[in-house]
Amino acid sequence: MIEPLEGLGLAGLGAVVFLDQWPAVQAMVSRPLVVGSLAGLLLGAPADGALWGAVFEVAFLAIQPVGAARYPDAGLAALAGTTVALVGLREVSRAGGEPVYPAVLAVAVALGAGALGEWAGGWHRRRNGVTAARVQSQVAVGDLGAPGRAVLIALARGALIGAVVTLLSLIGGLAGLALAQDVGAGLLSAAGLRLPAVVVAAVVGVRLFLRGPSSRLAWVGGAAGGAALAWLGSA
């Protein structure tokens, strides 16, 4: 279903995604929109990857990584879900069928990967607590290299967690894909995928941003503009 090099690339991407979410840099490479596009590039289908990245972006839009809040791992979820969707499309196309994604399975796999990532992230934070306590005792006896070593160890552990969670999610997701291929349910084309995604985007967007009269005015303007652009695009 996927080549070993593709699997390796996806695991490496998983490591980067896990680190970017909170341990390092936070350049937003871990956002589903970006992760989907990168996974698409790795699997030779950037346009499909971008589409799935957008679908997962709107689904995970309301999550805010605030303090010790617990939330599904959106980046790893998008990586696993997009991969399953794109590999499913590739398998169907190879068999000469209609170009459809295993849409329901892809989102279900993303949910599982997100939960696994959330658990792994919590474990990593608890391990970091042990590391931080050790750093305090080492610095107390004059070891000034301890904080730097702790940072490196924590980053390496985070990268490993990201890669392992990605590989486990992909193994589960691709096994599910192999089992589901004969069922033929939950399939959608790109056109069919767009509508559910935009419905989620519209509702989540309203809940996040509609506060006060000026935002309502902006919303009305956006609605007119969005309808006009979509109409022009489809005409």
Residues 187-206 that bind another protein (CB under 8 A): 187-206
User: Considering the rule CB under 8 A, would residue 173 count as an interface residue with another protein?
Assistant: no
Tokens describing residue 26: 């936070």
Task: Give the H/E segment covering residue 78.
Answer: helix 74-94
Told to check if 161 binds another protein by CB under 8 A, we report no
At 174, list the tokens: 């691709």
The single residue among 41, 160, 164, 167 that binds another protein, judged by CB under 8 A, is 41
Size of the site for another protein (CB under 8 A): 116
Cα 136 → chain centroid: 35
Phi-psi region of 186 (alpha: psi -120 to 50; beta: other; left: phi over 0): left
Residue 7 C-alpha from the chain's centroid: 16
44 binds another protein (CB under 8 A): no
Question: Which one of residues 33, 84, 168, 180 is an interface residue with another protein (CB under 8 A)?
Answer: 33
Alpha-carbon gap, residue 194 to 184, rounded angstroms: 20
List the interface residues with another protein, window 72-101 (CB under 8 A). Answer: 72, 98, 100
CA atoms within 13 A on the CB side of 72: 22
- State yes or no: residue 213 binds another protein (CB under 8 A): no
Contact region for another protein (CB under 8 A) — 4-12, 87-95, 167-175, 208-216? 208-216
In the complex, minimum distance from the CB of residue 20 to another protein, in angstroms, rounded to a whole number? 10
